[in-house]
Amino acid sequence: MRLSKYFLPILREDPADAQIASHRLMLRAAMIQQSSAGIYAWLPLGLRVLRKIEQIVREEQDRAGAIELLMPTIQSADLWRESGRYDDYGKEMLRIVDRHDRDMLYGPTNEELITDIFRRTVRSYRDLPKLLYHIQWKFRDEIRPRFGVMRGREFLMKDTYSFDLDLEGARASYNTMYLAYLRTFARLGLVSIPVRADSGAIGGDLSHEFHILAETGESDIYYDAAIEDIDLAKLTAEGADFEGTVEQLQSLYAAEAEKHDPANCPVPADRLRHAKGIEVGHIFYFGKKYSEAMKARVSGPDGKDVTVEMGSYGIGVSRLVGAIIEASHDDAGIIWPESVAPFQVGVLNLNTKDEACRAACERLYEQLTNAGVEALYDDTDERAGAKFATADLIGLPWQIRVGPRSLKAGEVEVKNRRTGETENMTPEAALNRIRG
Ligand code: P5A
């Protein structure tokens, strides 16, 4: 992408209303623009990151055997009356009346709708287990939307729903998702801590929240350092005792500060960690809460009807954009993990009037593009200093800086955004460094 043709209306000044780094940097880097309280437009740079995160989340769901579908954002109130949640949900639910005076709502979550799909289509225990998911916008009329996309009113969630014949199956589905979540967050370059949680408005009796570590996180958590050493490769290796290991993992200590009782903490002091976290995922086993109320049954092996066991599993996809920035930035701007960077490399032409610089940049840009590397080519007439600032702000993992002086020696300057290290090398070597 040529920056001169792109749409990147970055802000040179800090916006006044942003209290945390991710919100400030997302506005400055022109990733989002507020449309109304807690509701944002995703500008091109932000959308690229959102889509990358979404794709990693999708790939790990697919790998875990979940099947993607797409449910609507607008739902009928009748389904929620059946489950009993229409009144319970309160003011967080955005209620809508259509032209026929029917009560509708903008979905804050989809337990009812998926249960309705299930009961209308699945008849036999032979069709179980089933894990179904979608990645869809949700609306919750949060009393205090804040911190940009971290607590929005409209936000993108990945939500999966499991259907099983019995408790044992439900537990297996839960554990499958638990592991998929650890893998997903690791691929996003994050350390995640699964914390035993209350299940709140979703209901039920087994639940974990997944927190990622970030100094600015809103949650206060204590956990066993052993969690940081979880070896996912070993866990997923062929022949591994999957159930056993996941249950062992789940027994490792992690608790939110309110529930942490120092006197009874089972973790030795040298292994106890205290950190700030951001909740980016939440999984629930809630048994027959919805299937009973909505009569979601299949015929069992003995021909008798069985009410199915269910769970639901959420990831805050749009929240993750902010959370990743909270976990990975410095004074100059964002530092994207390679896996979600909007572009892998910025090619900076430091003197657009210099013919040699122009030719070298064009050639590099073409070679990168041909090699399948996503490059943002700064071909604008800005000063070199402004180009450096923009590149650092938007946080691409690599920068190739092409200036007249080093080019005379046949070299360009390569900067690694994370380490800050710069190195001179030939354009060919730069290409190989970035492809490697
Ligand atoms: C699980 C999937 C649920 O809604 N039903 C379907 C269950 N769980 S949850 O914990 O309420 O939400 C799941 C994740 O969504 C993110 N999230 C938000 N992100 C941005 N702004 C919000 N207002 C918001 N509310 C929830 C969180 O990451 C949460 O873990």
Per-residue pLDDT tens over the stretch 194-232: 998 876 666 667 899 999 999 888 899 999 999 988 877
Q: Give the residue ranges of DSSP H helices in 261-310.
A: 289-293
Q: Are 117 and 51 a contacting pair, CB within 8 Å?
A: no
In the chain, % helix, strand, coil (3-state, to 5) comes to 40, 30, 30
Centroid of ligand 1 to alpha carbon of 174 (angstroms):
17
13-66 pLDDT, tens digit each: 999 889 999 999 999 999 999 999 999 999 999 999 999 999 999 999 999 999
C-beta 418 within 6 A of ligand 1: no
Give me the phi and psi of 105, to 5 degrees please. -155, 155
pLDDT of residue 94: 98
165-186 pLDDT, tens digit each: 999 999 999 999 999 999 999 9
Task: Express as a percent the part of the chain with pLDDT over 70.
Answer: 99
pLDDT of residue 200: 66
Centroid of ligand 1 to alpha carbon of 156 (angstroms):
9
pLDDT of residue 172: 95
First to last CA, the chain: 21
Q: Are 115 and 296 a contacting pair, CB within 8 Å?
A: yes
pLDDT over 90 at 237, yes or no? no
CA trace torsion 276, 282, 286, 292 (10° rounding): 140
Question: From residue 162, how far is each of 247, 280, 290, 332 by CA, in Å?
Answer: 19, 20, 12, 43
d(CA 74, CA 87): 17
Task: Calculate the CA 256 to chain-centre distance.
Answer: 21
The residue ranges of DSSP E strands in 355-416, in sequence order, are 375-378, 398-402, 412-416
Check residues 202 and 383 and name the one with the higher pLDDT: 383
Arithmetic mean of pLDDT, 362-375: 97
394-424 pLDDT, tens digit each: 999 999 999 999 999 999 999 999 999 999 9
pLDDT over 90 at 248, yes or no? no
pLDDT over 90 at 4, yes or no? yes
Centroid of ligand 1 to alpha carbon of 135 (angstroms):
12
Q: In a 3-state reduction of DSSP, which class is residue 252?
A: coil
CA trace torsion 168, 171, 172, 176 (10° rounding): 180
Q: In a 3-state reduction of DSSP, which class is residue 140?
A: coil
pLDDT of residue 292: 98
Query: Which of 163, 196, 279, 282, when mutated, tests ligand 1's pocket best, judged by the most ligand atoms within 8 Å of its CB?
Result: 282
pLDDT over 80 at 238, yes or no? no
Provide the β-strand partners of residue 211.
193, 279
Task: Express as a percent the part of the chain with pLDDT over 90.
Answer: 88
259-313 pLDDT, tens digit each: 999 988 999 999 999 999 999 999 999 999 999 999 999 999 999 999 999 999 9
Arithmetic mean of pLDDT, 82-97: 96
User: Model's pTM, two decimal places?
Assistant: 0.96
The atom number, within ligand 1, closest to the CA of 282 reads 30
d(CA 189, CA 145): 26
pLDDT of residue 291: 98
Centroid of ligand 1 to alpha carbon of 179 (angstroms):
18
101-105, 240-244, 419-423: range with lowest mean pLDDT: 240-244
C-beta 175 within 6 A of ligand 1: no
Question: From residue 219, how far is each of 259, 276, 327, 393 by CA, in Å?
Answer: 12, 6, 14, 27
pLDDT band (50, 70, 90) for residue 233: confident
pLDDT of residue 145: 94
343-358 pLDDT, tens digit each: 999 999 999 999 999 9
Q: Amino acid letter at 276? A: K
Centroid of ligand 1 to alpha carbon of 35 (angstroms):
21
pLDDT of residue 249: 85
pLDDT of residue 202: 64
C-beta 277 within 6 A of ligand 1: no
The atom number, within ligand 1, closest to the CA of 108 reads 4
Arithmetic mean of pLDDT, 97-119: 98
> Measuring from atom 17 of ligand 1, which residue has the nearest CA?
316
pLDDT of residue 229: 83
